[in-house]
Amino acid sequence: MSQTPVAAVRPARLPVLRSDGPPVGSPWPASARPASGGELLVGGVGLAEAADRFGTPLYVLDEDEVRQRARAYRTALPQAQVLYAAKAFLCSAMADWVAEEGLGLDVCSAGELRLAAATGFPPERILLHGNAKSPEELRLARRLRVGRIAIDGLAEIPRLAALAIADTPQRVLVRVLPDVPAGHHAAVRTGVAGQKFGFPIDGGDAAEAVDRVLAQPSLRLTGLHCHLGSQITEVEPYLTALDRLVALLSEIRDRHGVELPELDLGGGHGVRYRHGDQELDLADFAARVTAHLAARCADHGLSAPRLIVEPGRAIAAPAAVALYRVLSVKHGTDGRTFAAVDGGMSDNPRPALYGSRYAVRLVGRNSGAPTAAIDVVGRHCEAGDVLVHSAELPADLRPGDLLAVPAAGAYQLSMASGYNLVGRPAVVAVRDGRARLLIRRETVEDFQAREVGR
């Protein structure tokens, strides 16, 4: 193995984590604190200690960070209904925490719905959506008496109407496409035409869906729903969407004589993945969206509907740290260095799917070495299994070292796979210096248990 090329070595300039908390613009949980020996505390628990106790890869979830972020939404939007988007990450503990903080839940499958019901989550605070709800999912939603269902296809209207009865109508929203491009990648821009979600406003599809819902006495149309995309860091796309949604509300009033009382703007609120990244300013979003909605409704002679928002990433992502153990370090002849870890695209597919970029930090030992540009790569049989490109890490990085990746709480474990039959990592919750296991590590025996014949 060749030595690290001199050109790749850089003066040490790893981001500093202070004893009073992360600096402004940091992607780390607010509770992150340095400790002796290169240790890093989250929720009062040492990350290296947690890795030794529970193994790696490991996801460490800060309960207080989740709760504080949930409270921040309720404080910023006191008149709105805030629904946590379960697709970001859901487990029984997460459902409990958001319920206790007064949030509702946005689910998009029978699995998410059943888990929520098993925890005792109030069904009236649950919204079911999705572009391909099965008849079984609609029946389950009706049986559990969920608060709202977002209509996302014409076939759902008679199917759902047949399950409901006129004296207890099902509250529904119609998901519309305002044709506003927003989001960090084309694959997650869900508010524009030409993709699978919702009814376009332009061309009359949304109006037709509204007509059909209002013709069903067993359905109660309460409002419109839209979702623009993911990892949105500017307020302006939401304001543009409001212009088009309020105009449609006005047309519905003029055509049918009804004012719909709810307007769901979805979520997609962006967070920091690396130091200095831009994120959506919640206070600015709340103030400008609320004022804009009131102004546009006044222009059209409408009463302002109740706003609904669906943050998922903004609550879950900053609350978790992923931990990996370095298995090997290779110094290539082309000047590149690769550190292979014991996880990868099976627990975090986002870099491979979207080119997402992350921060990474050595924890568990001090290093006086200068930093080098090191690619942190996964263990899977794909050249694209790269977790962090050109990470600034100590040049003396070696097998056995522990690496921590912040902002790991959303769209990692929820999108995890069983590729190469590598089991999904364990999840532990930390709070007040204590760690408890929430989800155990998936094993080979778990994969074998699904087999029923040879």
- The full length of the chain comes to 454
Question: Torsion-angle region of residue 301: left (phi > 0), alpha (psi -120 to 50) or beta?
Answer: left
CB-based contacts of 111, cutoff 8 Å, min separation 6: none
Q: Which of 140, 141, 69, 143 is nearest to 103 (CA)?
A: 69
Decide the pairing of beta strands 81-85 and 306-309. Answer: parallel
pTM above 0.85, yes or no: yes
Q: What is the per-residue pLDDT for 22? A: 81
Residue 259: count other Cβ atoms within 10 Å of its Cβ. Answer: 16
Enumerate residues 6+ apart whose C-beta is below 8 A from 68: 30
Tens-binned pLDDT, residue by residue, of the chain (454 aa): 334 443 345 544 445 566 667 877 899 999 999 999 999 999 999 999 999 999 999 999 999 999 999 999 999 999 999 999 999 999 999 999 999 999 999 999 999 999 999 999 999 999 999 999 999 999 999 999 999 999 999 999 999 999 988 778 999 999 999 988 665 545 444 545 777 789 999 989 999 999 999 999 999 999 999 999 889 999 999 999 999 999 999 999 999 999 999 999 999 999 999 998 999 999 999 999 999 999 999 999 999 999 999 999 999 999 999 999 999 999 887 889 999 999 999 999 999 998 999 999 999 999 999 999 999 999 999 989 999 999 999 999 999 999 999 999 999 999 999 999 999 999 999 999 999 999 999 999 999 999 999 8
pLDDT attached to residue 330:
95
**So what's the pLDDT on residue 85?**
98
Single-letter amino acid, residue 35:
A
- Of 91, 108, 226, 381, the active-site residue reads 381
Structure tokens, 405: 């990746």
- Cα–Cα distance measured from residue 139 to residue 235, given in angstroms and rounded to the nearest whole number: 37
Domain 6-62+318-449 in CATH: superfamily?
A: Lyase, Ornithine Decarboxylase; Chain A, domain 1 (2.40.37.10)
- Give the CA diameter of the chain: 76
- Closest by Cα among 73, 32, 70, 64 to 281: 73
Q: Residue 1: what pLDDT?
A: 36
Q: Give Cβ neighbours of residue 305 (< 8 Å, ≥ 6 apart).
A: 223, 249, 259, 260, 261, 262, 263, 293, 297
Give the rounded distance of the alpha carbon of 438 from its chain centre.
Answer: 18
Is residue 381 annotated as a catalytic residue, yes or no?
yes
Q: How do the domains of the chain map onto residue ranges?
A: 6-62+318-449, 63-317
Strand ranges inside 310-433, DSSP E? 320-331, 337-341, 361-363, 371-377, 386-394, 402-405, 426-431
Within 8 A by CB and 6+ apart from 55, the residues are 426, 441
Distance CA(30)–CA(67), nearest Å, equals: 12
Tokens at 164, concatenated: 């409901």
The pLDDT value given to residue 333: 76
DSSP-assigned letters across all residues of 344-374? -TTT--HHHHH------EEESS---SPEEEE
Rounded CA separation 255/204 (Å): 13
Query: 407: which DSSP letter?
Result: S
Q: List CB contacts of 11: < 8 A, sequence separation 6 or more.
A: 370, 371
Q: Which CATH architecture has domain 63-317?
A: Alpha-Beta Barrel (3.20)
